[in-house]
Structure 1
């Protein structure tokens, strides 16, 4: 039987239309195809909540870390890992989202990873912390600016993420940012009064921090010079949570106060404009130290504050979600932790120090172009 050209075109068009219809039903308006390799990093852990002592008994705490108080946390879930570049990319593709760093056209990157050609264009450095470089076009997809990329960093934390960006991602999933008490409850892993998620004493190869003379030399004794994969080390506590301390700072929904109290522990109201508020960051990053001899001492109580639109290549986040009261507890395993060094590949990423207060300068004064945006930026 002969079929005319017009009839064949009609059949092909119909088939193509049916394929498009089936795809539109398979994926909602905000979804992108699942990626089994990286979607596992979005797993959440359910925690029972409860009462615990928040804050450090140490007298050397910075930014209100040494203010202790009794806190009660309701049951909630929290991401097992910091949100990865792969997960954030999925969100960006679905929502066509632009981060604050993209809108401002620049962000901070640690000088050790910034190409000399870019360094030579910088006319202004961060006062008191010249190792921070305001790099044109640095954002989550190209962490060190033009020419850098994420091809080998899809299981790394998404960085150059502002509090505003983190909220948008979490809301897309039907989640939210954790409050500061929730974050510390999770980091402690059921242990009361300990400095680290795994216990009282510092242990090697449990987290990514700076080891050596800062900022000139990092011995990379933990295997990394800058940001590393979210699962580069074993789980840090008996809740099976990874990277709670070290690697990247993590945003919370709690307003920052240098003298925190119970009234400060609540999340910022959703109707409030977050860009006008300073929020708490927790956990320290790869440019922090074991004992606080430079930057912050990295422990479960480590904290600082920053403006909601601030970003750099050591700022990341994870999400949380509330659970009904009475949710069963995530039982600590009670097994011996594997502190053995895990095989890791050497990253080619950036790194930055923190603690300096900074008014976000006009990028035009730094690189000759960009949008003007005043903003205090603590790294």
Structure 2
């Protein structure tokens, strides 16, 4: 899970923090310090998808996203515990009773889509769209399988086939060109989109969109907001092959 902070009026509206129906004991310093853990992603046009259809990534299509900030790392157990304590107004457990003892810097897992959205909202942020996530993950490198090129490299990501049999602490591998860690492998990450197979095909295509380098209006800051049971997650995982 990662969070986005947009450079727009929308981000200001999200500054109303907290979770509906719950008493919130928020420390205002939390949101301030949280911004220091984010990378600025300058907006631009990119080629989305891949030539492989193994995960339904076809066809290649031109897309555009506006500038935004994105968390440098996956949300850790320690970060999520801090959030739970603030929302529930509870005291931290004693050192010897801490359930995440020794796993503070591992990415938090088993978090539902709604729980991920609530976490982001608490900090005045939101989940990234699928387009934002992919644009940031590529790190200015287009038409490549990984943020560094097309070759698998166990020294650059945590996946089945590397030297790990579980998730690893965040920042265990080098970042991409935007300073983002573990965009390939470790654990999969929620994005805000609902999954529908035809969404990026743009049902009412513009005649101007003749090549993958063109950007149809429906793929300018695209996000699939329709109601649906299946939500998108990205990024590969330690128990998947090839990140």
Common fold, TM-score beyond 0.5? yes
User: Equivalent residues in 2 for 1:177-256 (5 A)?
Assistant: 177-211=127-161, 221-222=162-163, 224-235=164-175, 237-256=176-195
Partner of 1:69 in structure 2?
61
- Rounded to whole Å, the distance in 1 between the matches of 2:124 and 2:169 is 25
Kindly report which structure 2 residues correspond to 1:103-142, keeping only aligned pairs within 5 A, or say none.
Answer: none
* Paired residue secondary structure (2:199): coil
In structure 2, distance between residues paired with 1:40 and 1:154: 16
Identify which of structures 1 and 2 has the higher relative contact order when contacts are C-alpha pairs closer than 8 Å and 6+ apart.
Answer: 2
Q: Alpha-carbon deviations, 1:273-326, whole Å to 9, x = none?
A: xxx542110011111102xxxxxxx3xxxxxxxxxxxxxxxxxxxxxxxxxxxx
Rounded Cα–Cα distance in structure 1 between residues aligned with 2:26 and 2:147: 36
Structure 2 residue 115 is matched with structure 1 residue 165: yes
Aligned length: 194
Residue 47 (structure 1) aligned with residue 28 (structure 2): no
Q: 1:83 to 1:42 in 2, by over 3 A?
A: farther
**Offset at residue 148 of structure 1 (A):** 9.8
In structure 1, what is the equivalent of residue 196 of structure 2?
Answer: 257
What secondary structure does 1:87 align onto? Answer: helix
Q: Which structure has the larger Rg over C-alpha atoms?
A: 1
The corresponding residue for 1:266 is: 223
* 1:174 Cα offset (Å): 0.4
Q: Which residue of 2 is the match for residue 79 of structure 1?
A: 71
CA distance in 1, matches of 2:192, 2:44: 19
Report the secondary structure of 2:107's partner residue: coil
Residues 25 and 88 in structure 2, CA contact (< 8 A), matched pair in contact too? no
1:31 to 13, 16, 27: 27
**Structure 1 residue aligned with 2:8:** none
* Aligned partner (choices 225, 238, 242) of residue 286 of structure 1: 238
Map Cα deviations across residues 166-203 of structure 1 (whole Å, 9 max, x no partner).
Answer: 10010000000000000000000001111101123222
**Gap regions ≥5 residues in structure 2:** 1-23, 203-217
Q: Matched residues in 2 for 1:71 and 1:29: separation?
A: 40
Contact 2:186 2:238 in 1 (8 A): yes
Question: 1:40 and 1:173, CA in 2 relative to 1: closer, same or farther beyond 3 A?
Answer: closer
Distance 2:224 2:105 in 1: 28
Give the structure 2 partner of residue 355 of structure 1: none
Q: Which residue of structure 2 lines up, in the alignment, with residue 304 of structure 1?
A: none
Could you say which residue in structure 2 is the equivalent of 1:364?
none
Contact 2:157 2:184 in 1 (8 A): yes
CA distance in structure 1 between the partners assigned to 2:62 and 2:188 by the alignment = 24
Q: Quote the Cα distance in structure 1 between the aligned partners of 2:234 and 2:117.
A: 16
Distance 1:78 1:209 in 2: 23
CA distance in 2, matches of 1:187, 1:173: 22
CA-based RMSD of the aligned residues comes to 2.7
Secondary structure of 1:252's match? strand
